[in-house]
Amino acid sequence: MKALTRRARKDHWRYQDIVREHGIKQAGYKGEQSLDYYMDFLPKTNPPFSIFQDLRLPHTKESFFQMDNTLLHPNFMLILEVKNYKGTLSFDPKFQQVIQEVENNPLLSLPDPILQVKMQEMKLIQWMKSKNLPLLPIERLIVMVNPKAVIKVDSLHGLVERHVIKAPALHDRIQNYLKKYPDQILSKKDYKRISSLFIKEDTPSETSPIIQFGIIPSDIIPGVFCQRCITTSPMTWHHGKWLCKHCSFVSATAHLPALEDYALLISPTINNKELRRYLLLDKPHTARRIIQSSGADYINSTQGTFYTIKI
Ligand SMILES: [Zn+2]
């Protein structure tokens, strides 16, 4: 995603969407980081909780369901959904919505995360049944990780209190679950089986940002960017090094991030002609030298030599 923000043509009709999506991903990432901090304070149990992050399991033949964090314990399971919302959040589960109010912005209606985790739970139960796994109690929680967010409740207070907490309350809430479910449901064997099935059936999404935003290779800006200044004119290859004409920065390895962008956005393999077009080089032997020095493996095929970009 970051590669796309760097490389997509600024006049692409969805450029603003790309930048916004990138911002959302970043915010999500920071939020999870702060949840990780609280995870370190989970109650000590024997065996300890197993934490599975971003599990994406099959639901039907063509569809999947995804859970931010799934905590497995022999007595119960917990689905944790992380939200890094800012501003004032009014939970209104009666109308399946959360109203977000951020200063100087219009009111926003967000999808109800309580309903979202409820759906995840139902799909998880179906999945466990399809695998003939023993059914153990499942709890679900939405963790609000932004410490400055203000939480209000507009309807069904009990439901919101049961399923929504701020991150510092996580430890106590899990202690309560341990009291609520004192009996061990899973044998050691079942516990291992569920863990290994989670890992085996986890299917990370293949939807690349390229497909999502309808980016074609000609939308990607070619050239090696200067790491030191913000000029948009690409660096030029000069006596075995890259030179920025704008700030005179010289680098022998400035093509490495450019190659990484290519691998992420266009293709993990590249041939000499494509390489010259992308790095804006004239001579085939220069292109060959650069790609070989980057540690790329190559494949000789009937269509010529292809290099596998090392990232
Ligand atoms: Zn420069």
- Of the pLDDT bands very low, low, confident and very high (cuts 50, 70, 90), residue 84 is confident
The fraction of the chain above a pLDDT of 90, given in percent, is 54
Let me know if residue 111 belongs to a domain.
yes
Look at residue 121 and tell me if it is in a domain: yes
Ligand 1 centroid to 255 CA: how many Å?
14
* 230 alpha carbon – ligand 1 mean position (Å): 7
**Is the residue at 207 inside a domain?**
no
Domain hosting residue 253, numbered range: 222-308
Distance 242 CA to ligand 1 centre (A): 10
Task: Give distance in angstroms: CA of 229 to centre of ligand 1.
Answer: 4
pLDDT at 62: 83
For residues 69 and 36, the model is more confident at 69
pLDDT of 269:
85
The pLDDT score that the predictor gives to residue 234 is 92
Of 28-32, 107-111, 137-141, 209-213, give the lowest mean pLDDT range: 28-32
Residue 41 has a pLDDT of 74
* Same structural domain, 227 and 189: no
C-alpha 245 to ligand 1 mean position (Å): 7
Check whether residue 23 and residue 135 sit in a common domain.
yes
Mean pLDDT, all residues of the chain = 88
Question: What pLDDT was estimated at residue 27?
Answer: 63
Position with higher pLDDT, 102 vs 41 = 102
Question: How far is the centre of ligand 1, averaged over its atoms, from the C-alpha of 29 (Å)?
Answer: 30
- Measured between alpha carbons, how far is 39 from 68 in angstroms, rounded to an integer? 13
Q: How far is the CA of 296 from the centre of ligand 1 (A)?
A: 26
- Dihedral angle over CA of 222, 217, 205, 257, nearest 10: -10
Are residues 92 and 155 both part of a single domain?
yes
- pTM comes to 0.62
Q: Mean pLDDT, to the nearest integer, of 50-59?
A: 89
Last residue of a domain, one of 137, 171, 201: 201
Ligand 1 centroid from CA 183, angstroms: 64
Least confident of 18-22, 159-163, 222-226, 266-270: 18-22
Distance 250 CA to ligand 1 centre (A): 8
Which of the four pLDDT bands, split at 50, 70 and 90, describes residue 124?
A: very high
Same domain, 181 and 280: no
Q: Is residue 216 part of a domain?
A: no
Compute, in angstroms, the gap from residue 236 CA to the centroid of ligand 1: 11
Asked whether residue 138 is assigned to any structural domain, the reply reads yes
Confidence of residue 310 (pLDDT cuts 50, 70, 90): confident
Q: Select from 201, 231, 249 the last residue of a domain.
A: 201
Contact 43, 175 (CB under 8 A): yes
Is residue 34 assigned to a domain? yes
pLDDT band at 70 (very low <50, low <70, confident <90, very high): very high
CA of 290 to the centre of ligand 1 (A): 20
Confidence at residue 291, expressed as pLDDT on a 0 to 100 scale: 93
Same domain, 141 and 71: yes
Q: What's the residue count for the chain?
A: 311
Say how many CA atoms lie within 13 Å of 6 toward its Cβ.
20
CA of 232 to the centre of ligand 1 (A): 9
